[in-house]
Amino acid sequence: MKKNELIIFDTTLRDGEQSPGAAMTKEEKLRIARQLEKLGVNVIEAGFAAASQGDFESIHAIAEVIKNSTVCSLARASENDVRRAGEAIKPAARGRIHTFIATSPIHMENKLRMTPDQVVERAVQAVRWAREYTDDVEFSAEDAVRSDMDFLVRVFDAVIKAGAKTINVPDTVGYSIPVQWGERMRQLIERVPDSDKVVWSTHCHNDLGMAVANSLSAVLGGARQVECTINGLGERAGNASLEEIVMAVRTRKDVFNLETTIDTTQIVPTSKLVSSITGYPVQPNKAVVGANAFSHESGIHQDGVLKHRETYEIMRAEDVGWGANKLTLGKLSGRNAFRSRLKELGIELESEELLNAAFSKFKDLADKKSEIFDEDLHALVSDEFISDASETFKLVYLNVCSQTGEVPHANVTISENGQEKKAEADGGGPVDATFKAIESIVNSGAELQLYSVNNITSGTDAQGEVTVRFSRGGRIVNGQGADTDIVVASAKAYLNGLNKLHSKSERAHPQV
Ligand code: KIV
Ligand code: ZN
């Protein structure tokens, strides 16, 4: 590691996936991992291997294909978790095991029911188990923010002696404020023996909206790794957002004097991909990746920017990848051009048959929409081809009648396990009528918690991307669908959500 390098540890595929309903399939995770590698992140935390067989397989598959980033699995400090993580990262060119245990009194007493001595012993043991698989072992003291400083020093000293190479200090509950967090990092580095032999890391949650500020303060206190996620996804209010950390360090080099390996022009494409796969839209006023992040509304600002851009802009839109959504293909593009663009986007369809089917969908889309962008291709393949949620329900036919003065009415045919079923319904609007008609067939019992529509690219011929969020029996899933017709996109999203509810993926949560 170079002296002035800041390691970017991306945990979109692990902590990000802990956002309600953001669970991803293996193929989706692979696409994001490839894009993260292109973005230049140093470490990809690909998942939590012991959570489920699916998580294990996703990490293993990512470890097989990613060559330039370190591939990491999370593991609680138990022998089974650490060994599962070790097996999952085995194929990696560079593999890391990230093991953790809680160190705050509230967690040790109530959750772990362990004494501080037992916690130290278990932390050391976990690091030793992990070292049987790799030299690259990271240790985290969960809830470090509410842990006693002397105890943290003791735990960190012990795990460094056991062979941990990265020491992560998490604000698990988003409780800290920047001045305290930077100071905590500084004191730990000062007090822990051999602190100069390890990389100090921070991992902050955003419950009080200070995850990025706290992370940057820890960097000023000596941290040289930041754990973060694309679009700030993550448990509850999320994690520190990668794009904000990277652009703050780059824009304020005068303060941080640090470099990252991030290709910043890949930030916006990565943000869009993650948003489209997880169904978590990016708020328009979100720093760096929000649609309004570089648009100037007031006349005075517009005038200033036209005369001299730096009057109101501290970053350039093109430096973070705005405008990088290349116009890729059009109506006349052939099968080979289509295949090679998918490949460049990190999308590999498993068979010629799937490629042919995707190409025919692409041609249909090109008939409706003259210019096809990368985002359209991502939506097209997500929608139909590489979702491995069980395909119990499929949309076969939809006819919606919506006119002024009349009650909107929908006629729907879906196939359920290959058997066609029809229904019709009235509704408050065409989408409402469509959903009611589908529900009258499936009787899902699911509660619709969210319905949102976003345009994938600009223009009125853009595809609309619809997200629905369902909750049923304590489980939350997001369904997505895309189409130039937003009512069709809505029906697809509804059925995609139902398919996800049907696929019973049992997963353990790392922090429970
Ligand atoms: O927030 C947290 O403490 C975590 C740890 C597992 C690092 O996600
Ligand atoms: Zn976390």
Given this chain, do its domains 7-278 and 393-506 carry the same CATH topology?
A: no
What dihedral angle (degrees, nearest 10) is formed by the CA atoms of 181, 185, 188, 189? -170
170 lines ligand 1 (CB under 6 A): yes
User: CB within 8 A of 89, min separation 6: which ones?
Assistant: 49, 59, 60, 63, 71, 72, 73, 95, 96, 97, 133, 134
172 lines ligand 1 (CB under 6 A): yes
Ligand 1 atom nearest to CA at 205 = 1
* 8 A C-beta contact, residue 439 and residue 405: no
Phi-psi region of 464 (alpha: psi -120 to 50; beta: other; left: phi over 0): beta
100 lines ligand 1 (CB under 6 A): yes
Domain 393-506 classified CATH 3.90.1150.10? no
Cβ neighbours, 10 Å, residue 184: 23
> For 253-334, where are the alpha helices, taking DSSP H only?
253-256, 267-278, 299-307
In the chain, where the domains are located: 7-278, 294-324, 326-384, 393-506
- The tokens for 306 are 């036209």
Of all residues in the chain, what percent are helix, strand and coil, respectively (each to 5)?
Answer: 45, 20, 35
DSSP type of residue 109: I
pTM of the model: 0.89
As residues whose CB is below 5 A from the ion ligand 2, the structure lists 15
Pocket test for ligand 1, best of 106, 140, 166, 200 (most atoms within 8 A of CB): 140
Ligand 1 atom nearest to CA at 74 = 6
CATH number of 7-278: 3.20.20.70
- In tens digits, the chain (512 residues) has pLDDT values of 777 999 999 999 999 999 988 888 898 899 999 999 999 999 999 999 999 999 999 999 999 999 999 999 999 999 999 999 999 999 999 999 999 999 999 999 999 999 999 999 999 999 999 999 999 999 999 999 999 999 999 999 999 999 999 999 999 999 999 999 999 999 999 999 999 999 999 999 999 999 999 999 999 999 999 999 999 999 999 999 999 999 999 999 999 999 999 999 999 999 999 998 898 989 999 999 998 898 766 677 777 777 777 887 899 999 999 876 566 687 888 888 888 888 877 777 778 888 888 888 888 888 887 788 888 888 888 766 655 556 899 999 999 999 999 999 999 999 999 999 999 999 999 999 999 999 999 999 999 999 999 888 778 888 888 999 999 988 888 888 999 999 999 999 999 999 988 876 677 888 87
